[in-house]
Structure 1
Amino acid sequence: MGVVTGPARAAGAGGRQGPKQDRSRATRQRLLEAAVSCLAERGWAGSTVSVVAERAGVSRGAAQHHFPTREDLFTAAVEYVAEQRSRALRALPARTRPETVAALVDLYTGPLFRAALHLWVAASDEPQLRERVTELEARVGRETHRIAVDLLAADESRPGVRETVQGLLDMARGLGLANLLTDDSARRDRVVAQWGRIVEQALGGDG
Structure 2
Amino acid sequence: MRRVREPQQDRSRLTRQRLLEATVDCLAELGWSATTVAVVAKRAGVSRGATQHHFPTREDLITASLDYMFDSRMESVRLEATGLPPGPGRTEAVVSRLVDHYTGTLFKAALQVWTAAAADPVLRARVLPLEDKFGRVAHRTTVALLGVDEGDPVAHRWVQLTLDLARGLGLADVLTDDSVRRAEIVRQWAATLEMVLEQPALGATQRS
TM-score, normalization by structure 1? 0.89
RMSD: 1.5
Given residue 107 of structure 1, which amino acid in structure 2 is its aligned partner? H
Following superposition, the deviation at residue 157 of structure 1 comes to 3.0
Largest Rg, 1 or 2: 1
* Matching of residues 42-191 of structure 1 within 5 Å: 42-91=30-79, 92=81, 93-95=83-85, 96-191=90-185
Following superposition, the deviation at residue 94 of structure 1 comes to 2.5
* 2:29 counterpart of 1:35: no
Distance in 2, matches of 1:147 and 1:22, equals: 30
Once the two structures are superposed, what CA deviation does each residue of 1:144-201 show, in whole Å capped at 9, x if it has no partner?
1001001001123334111100000000000000000000001001100011011101
User: 4+ residue runs of structure 1 moved beyond 6 angstroms?
Assistant: none
**Alignment gaps of 5+ in structure 1:** 1-15
**Alignment gaps of 5+ in structure 2:** none
Of residues 87-96 and 52-61 in structure 1, the stretch that sits farther from structure 2 once superposed is 87-96
CA contact (8 A) 1:94 1:151 kept: no
Amino-acid identity (%):
55
SS of alignment partner, residue 160 of structure 1: helix
Aligned length: 192
Equivalence for 1:10: none
Given residue 119 of structure 1, which amino acid in structure 2 is its aligned partner? V
